[in-house]
Amino acid sequence: MGLDYYILDVFTERAFGGNPLAVVQDADRLTVAEMQAIAREFNLSETVFVRKPTAPGHTAKVRIFTPTREVPFAGHPTLGTAALLAELRMPVVNGERDAIIALEEEIGSVRVGVRLRAGAAAFGEFDAPRLPDQAEVMKQRDELAAALGLIASEVGFENHKPTLVRDTNVFAYVPAANLEAMAKVRVAASHWARAFSDKGVLGVYVYTRQCVRAHSAFHARLFAPDAGVPEDPATGSASIGLARVIHHFDDLTDGTHKLQIEQGIEMGRPSCISLAITVDRGNLTGVRIGGHVVRVAQGKLNV
């Protein structure tokens, strides 16, 4: 018997933008090897497998796979899956559907608030399941620049320096001088392992304060070749780490700071990630990620 699957675009209000996601329903009978094979077949940055929850009151248990490995948590799979389950399972009340979707992930329980309105893309947001560790400054700027096809003078802006943030996933954050440098970034395989892979880095998040869109605070690109993702159009989990980086370098005042992050523009898949950073008594106390979700396709897997 076949399994239903859906293709969603996440962090966009229009189809064929944002980050595409595959969600496979009723996947309890699939083995880990089968889930990995299906994720490799879809060949998207992530594929989600929805299973029955293990705890009462939770909506579903999910497993998240890149084309080459399972990951304990990821942002756009969390957001996209929650929006889909709200659309499929939640009742309509006065023409509207608002829901709290509780997902069991390998990292733990993640609660996503979803807003559905007729004629509009779904919108969801969730609090980071845990806050990232302190940002560690990365040295060897020449080495990092070479791995990204840049020269050393194109790495860094203002007081921002390359940093490593260790969380559920390990991301390197490399500031680029401007949009011109961002357009040049590429994976230089001969330098990549020494600069990033050998340090346990899952993905490299390159960012600059110069933006294409007037409402954006940062322009970003994400490269994760070791996870089978040459470039990612929108990366919610890496945006959580960016909050730590921004707090580290920009000395944010107490309160909640709401920012828009643009990504995927160089790929022709423009994305917009809402990032809310809460600071209390000088400490980072909360990070919230939000964005829109559009359903673009559905079908059956013959497995």
**pLDDT tens digit sequence for 60-76:** 999 999 999 999 999 99
User: Averaged over 218-230, what is the pLDDT?
Assistant: 95
What would the CATH number be for the domain defined by 3-126+292-301? 3.10.310.10
The yes-or-no verdict on residue 269 having pLDDT over 90 is yes
| Positions marked catalytic | 46
Ramachandran class of 282: left when φ > 0, alpha when ψ lies in -120 to 50, beta otherwise? left
C-alpha span between 122 and 113 (Å, rounded): 11
pLDDT confidence of 95, banded at 50, 70, 90?
Answer: low
The predicted structure's pLDDT at residue 194:
95
Beta strands in the chain (DSSP E): 3-10, 19-24, 47-51, 60-65, 70-71, 96-105, 108-117, 122-127, 136-137, 163-166, 170-175, 203-208, 218-224, 229-232, 255-263, 271-280, 283-301
Report d(CA 254, CA 185) in Å as an integer.
Answer: 34
Q: Which of 224, 166, 220, 196 is nearest to 44 (CA)?
A: 224
* Mean pLDDT of the 245-271 span: 97
From the list 198, 194, 203, the residue with the least C-alpha distance to 144 is 194
- Residue range 132-176, pLDDT digits in tens: 888 899 999 999 999 999 999 999 999 999 999 988 789 999 999
Does domain 136-290 fall under CATH 3.90.1300.10? My reply is no
Q: What span, in angstroms and rounded, lies between the C-alpha atoms of 105 and 86?
A: 17
Write down the pLDDT at residue 97: 83
Tracing tokens 């040459």 back to the chain, one arrives at: 230
CB contact set of 286 (below 8 Å; sequence gap of 6+): 127, 128, 131, 256, 276, 277, 278
Burial class (CB in 10 A: 0-12, 13-18, 19+), 111: middle
Same fold, 3-126+292-301 and 136-290: yes
Domain regions of the chain by residue span: 3-126+292-301, 136-290
pLDDT of 90 > 90? The answer is: no
User: Which pLDDT belongs to residue 172?
Assistant: 98
Please write the tens of the pLDDT for every residue from 289-299. 999 999 999 99
Alpha carbons 114 and 123: distance in angstroms, whole number:
6
Give me the pLDDT at residue 1, please.
Answer: 67
- Which pLDDT value is given to residue 173? 98
| Spatial distance between the Cα atoms of 90 and 85, rounded to a whole number of angstroms | 8
Examine the pLDDT at 91 and tell me if it is beyond 90: no
CB 22 within 8 A of CB 7: yes
Q: What distance in Å separates the CA atoms of residue 48 and residue 80, rounded to the nearest whole number?
A: 9
**Per-residue model confidence (pLDDT) at position 39:** 98
Residue 24 has pLDDT above 80, yes or no: yes
Average pLDDT, the chain: 95
Sort strands 96-105 and 60-65 into parallel, antiparallel or unpaired: parallel
pTM for the model: 0.94
